[in-house]
Structure 1
Amino acid sequence: MRFVTGLMLASVVGLTAFGLAQHQHGGKATTVTGEVVDLSCYLTHGAKGESHAKCATACINKGLPMGILTKDGKLFVVLEDHANADAYQQLKKFAAKTVTVKGVIATRNGISGIAVQKVEGASATKTSATKKTSATKYVCPMGCIPPQDKPGNCPKCGMKLVAKKS
């Protein structure tokens, strides 16, 4: 009889703890605006901004962790929301860009993270617009240099670059 009572008591305690853990897993969604940084480069040598965009994109695409760095210097580790993995994947496209994300913030042992539910804000729209216009490339008529994103003159032969739609 004692064994059955002990087993029932342990089950109640276990289920209560499980219920509390599930309750604390959720939270109220909030929005955070900041730059998407790759945490490996940012934490080791402070790399951020447009000058680091190419490296940040490569690091994030390799699977290294991302963060959101706010203007006031607060850093959030980006977490995947298990109910919406698409938002996390979408955020990878905005390396070194400023975005607004909506999600649940969790802090433990001094580390803050945000489980991203939605990527929103002006930067997402701007990036889509630049992708549409970046279909035009500028090439040297002599073929001296690879296609360029901006008009101008060829740095090798001086000829005016010609617009080509891709």
Structure 2
Amino acid sequence: MTTKQAKEILLLYRGSIDDGDPQFREASAHAQGDPELAQWLREQTSCYNAIRSKLRELEPPTDLSETIIRHRPIPFRRDWMQILKLAAAIIVSASITAVGFKLSERKRYSIAQGQEILVKGEVLDMTCYIAYNLSGPDHAECARVCIRNGLPVGIKSENGKVYLLTGKPGHSVNAELADYAAKIVTIKGKESIRDGFAQLQVEEIRKF
């Protein structure tokens, strides 16, 4: 087993629940002989445990089961000809809507993009920030691991505005930004707005 293969397997590792799986045992054994992979695994496990802990704090609504039962679809007699007609109508409608949306989106996007700006703020792991409002020094290690593993990265400016950070087409900026997780940096790039969501195509990262 190569280090790359072991890392791909361990990316799905959930702790003791997976210890009995031969694949995870082999990958874990490989990590014990590779200091760099072992360090990555410790960081990955720490991030997973932090997210799992937050999920455990969530309590489902007391009436969830009743709500699910109440909204179960009612069985109906299958008239296949009617179903086919309905499916065809949906496909045609969806196609027209998609074309219209694309044209509208292109027009809006061309107007809203291209302005070069400087943004100073904290580098965010967008997944944990959006889902659990996690940021700051206490979340730095988890954020660094998540960003390094390819999860969306962003920046929260001093005025509170959050931007999704992207690279040029075909280029990811995660590797460059992972070590700045939860730190204050200044990003120079081109601002764009898509469906109301601010993005910043990174051109330069300044460590202040």
Of residues 127, 130, 136 in structure 2, which corresponds to 1:49? 136
What does 1:124-143 correspond to in 2, within 5 Å?
A: none
Distance 1:47 1:120 in 2: 23
Distance 2:198 2:205 in 1: 18
Deviation at 1:87, TM superposition (A): 5.6
What does 1:1-166 correspond to in 2, within 5 Å?
A: 24=110, 27-82=114-169, 85=171, 89-122=175-208
Deviation at 1:97, TM superposition (A): 0.5
Task: Describe the superposition over 1:72-118 as per-residue Cα deviations: whole angstroms up to 9, x where unpaired.
Answer: 211100111239x4865322221110100000000011100000010
The change in CA–CA distance for 1:60 and 1:87 in structure 2 (over 3 A counts) is: closer
Distance 2:201 2:174 in 1: 8
Task: Describe the superposition over 1:123-155 as per-residue Cα deviations: whole angstroms up to 9, x where unpaired.
Answer: xxxxxxxxxxxxxxxxxxxxxxxxxxxxxxxxx
The aligned amino acid for 2:196 is G
The aligned amino acid for 1:27 is G
| Identical pairs, percent | 32
Distance 1:45 1:86 in 2: 24
SS of structure 1 residue aligned to 2:118:
strand
In structure 1, the residue matched to 2:5 is: none
Structure with the bigger percentage of helix: 2
> TM-score, normalised on structure 2?
0.44
Would you say how many aligned residue pairs link Structure 1 and Structure 2? 102
Gaps of 5+ in 1: 1-16, 123-166
> TM-score, normalised on structure 1?
0.54
SS of structure 2 residue aligned to 1:48:
coil
Say if 1:87 and 1:117, in contact at 8 Å, map to a contact too.
Answer: no
The aligned amino acid for 1:31 is L
The aligned amino acid for 2:143 is A
Structure with the bigger percentage of strand: 1
Task: Describe the superposition over 1:1-31 as per-residue Cα deviations: whole angstroms up to 9, x where unpaired.
Answer: xxxxxxxxxxxxxxxx9xx98x939723211
Larger Rg: 1
Q: Give the aligned CA root-mean-square deviation in angstroms.
A: 2.5
The change in CA–CA distance for 1:90 and 1:30 in structure 2 (over 3 A counts) is: same
